[in-house]
Amino acid sequence: MSVLVYINSSTGIHKSANEAVTYAKKLGGSVTVITNGGCDAATLASLGKYGADKVLVDRSVNSNDDQQLTRMIATAADSVGATTVVFSHDLTAKAVAPRLSVRMKAGLISGAIDLPSGDGTTKVNVFSGKAFGAVKVNTSKKIISLLPNSIQPEATGSDCAVEDFNGNAGSTNVKVITTKKPEGEIPLPEAELVVSAGRGLKGPENWGIVEDLAKALGAATACSRPVADIGWRPHHEHVGQTGVAIRPNLYIAAGISGAIQHLAGVNGSKVIVVINTDPEAPFFKAADYGVVGDAFEVLPRLTEAVKKFKG
């Protein structure tokens, strides 16, 4: 069997890329990575440690144009005879994997959280994390888009070969005018640790104590929907059923009541800590550790404790 993994290397190699390659390796058979853009060869070669046999890179494709990427990946899949294509279920995968599915006539499994089981089905998140589904693919080829933070990357090998590749990507129909990059933030869907806050924080001027804790932990920040709606925090921090669904190792929620729509997006977290003044807040039912207390006192205290622990 031959497995192809698409990696978005435009901002370097992230943990989610190492996860996707580890996943492909565990599917069995040879693993080829296809990527594009300007990432240097030494960085790309490191994917060999996680199980890639080689990395193909099309230096001529420098955009997020889904039509170009689809053509490039399909060309690579043909050239290595891949029967399975693996993506990390990020924004690029959400644009490209469905197109590729139609082009390759390959059934698409979105949001996989595990390796295929013995009966050939693959477990995915459904109902915004409130349940799991077992999906079967009816076509001979398949595409699996793996949710970040679902499996641990395993570095067992060594650097692999990196080869230039012509993916016949064609021209683009999408002109990029500008890109805006937030400074020094950890992308929320990939973050292992997340500190989140809600309306209990009373106003945007109070987010310093949330950011301080996030900084001490090396965590990303998130928020509840009303907080994003009233503009206290940017929209991309909104987690929940109608925001981003995340599954970090640790989710700390301060001043969030734990409405069902909020829980839907975060209940895949391995450990949940809830800080709330109201002992009856519904969030405590979904929490592993609870602190009944005022976030304005508890958060700075927790930050100090984390700093002390980290030395």
Instruction: List residues binding ligand FAD (CB under 6 A).
Output: 198-200, 224-227, 240-243, 254-257, 259, 261-262, 265, 275-278, 281, 294-296
Closer Cβ to ligand FAD, 122 or 276, answer by number: 276
What does 94 bind: ligand FAD, another protein, none (CB cut-off 5 to 8 Å by kind)? another protein
Beta bridge partners of 88: 146
Q: How many CA atoms lie within 13 A of 237 on its CB side?
A: 27
What does 60 bind: ligand FAD, another protein, none (CB cut-off 5 to 8 Å by kind)? none
Residue linked to tokens 């109201």: 278
What does 97 bind: ligand FAD, another protein, none (CB cut-off 5 to 8 Å by kind)? another protein
DSSP state of 147: P
What does 256 bind: another protein, ligand FAD, none (CB cut-off 5 to 8 Å by kind)? ligand FAD
Q: 272 by DSSP, 3-state: which? A: strand
Phi-psi region of 148 (alpha: psi -120 to 50; beta: other; left: phi over 0): beta
Nearest to 111 by CA among 139, 90, 130: 90
- State the minimum distance, in angstroms, from the CB of residue 67 to another protein: 6
Amino acid at 7: I
- State the minimum distance, in angstroms, from the CB of residue 100 to another protein: 8
Residues with Cβ within 8 Å of 191's Cβ and at least 6 positions away in sequence, in order, are 219, 220, 246, 248
Closer Cβ to ligand FAD, 81 or 208, answer by number: 208
Closer Cβ to another protein, 95 or 115, answer by number: 95
- State the minimum distance, in angstroms, from the CB of residue 155 to another protein: 20
- State the minimum distance, in angstroms, from the CB of residue 127 to ligand FAD: 13
- State the minimum distance, in angstroms, from the CB of residue 219 to another protein: 9
Closer Cβ to another protein, 119 or 205, answer by number: 119
Instruction: Give the H or E element holding residue 303.
Output: helix 295-310
What does 290 bind: ligand FAD, another protein, none (CB cut-off 5 to 8 Å by kind)? another protein
Nearest to 232 by CA among 255, 262, 251: 255
- What is the rounded CA–CA span in Å between residue 268 and residue 239? 12
